[in-house]
């Protein structure tokens, strides 16, 4: 408990973008550049959380990572392996 769970993506060329998080309390915070398209939800009964990104374009092609914020400060102590998403035109 006390953690926040984040989504971060890495574009081709290695640029990183923080997308948003869901706090253990259930509150969310999103990157303003994505706010109209993003939703992060969770299923506490399954210890899972989810990213939904709507109206995707080729610009959303990236490797998507989940990560756990390990406390008050903005560092990530656990990272997922990442999944590559390719959006074709």
Report pLDDT digits (tens) over 11-45.
999 999 999 999 999 999 999 999 999 999 999 99
CATH fold of 4-85: Immunoglobulin-like (2.60.40)
User: Could you tell me the pTM of the whole model?
Assistant: 0.93
- 3-class state of residue 18 by DSSP: strand
Burial degree of 39 (CB within 10 A; 0-12, 13-18, 19+): middle
Dihedral pair phi/psi, residue 76, rounded to 5°: -115, 120
pLDDT on residue 71: 75
pLDDT band, very low/low/confident/very high, at 2 (cuts 50, 70, 90): confident
Task: Give me the residue spans of the domains in the chain.
Answer: 4-85
Mean pLDDT (the chain) is: 95
- Given a cut of 70, is residue 1 above it in pLDDT? no
């Amino acid at each position: 408990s006390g953690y926040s769970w984040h989504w971060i993506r890495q574009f081709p060329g290695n640029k990183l973008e923080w997308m948003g998080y869901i706090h253990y309390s259930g509150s969310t915070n999103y990157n303003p550049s994505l706010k109209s398209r993003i939703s992060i939800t969770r299923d506490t009964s399954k210890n899972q959380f989810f990213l939904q990104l709507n109206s995707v374009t080729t610009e959303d092609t990236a490797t998507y990572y989940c990560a756990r914020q390990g406390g008050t400060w903005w560092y990530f102590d656990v990272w997922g392996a990442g999944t590559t998403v390719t959006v074709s035109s």
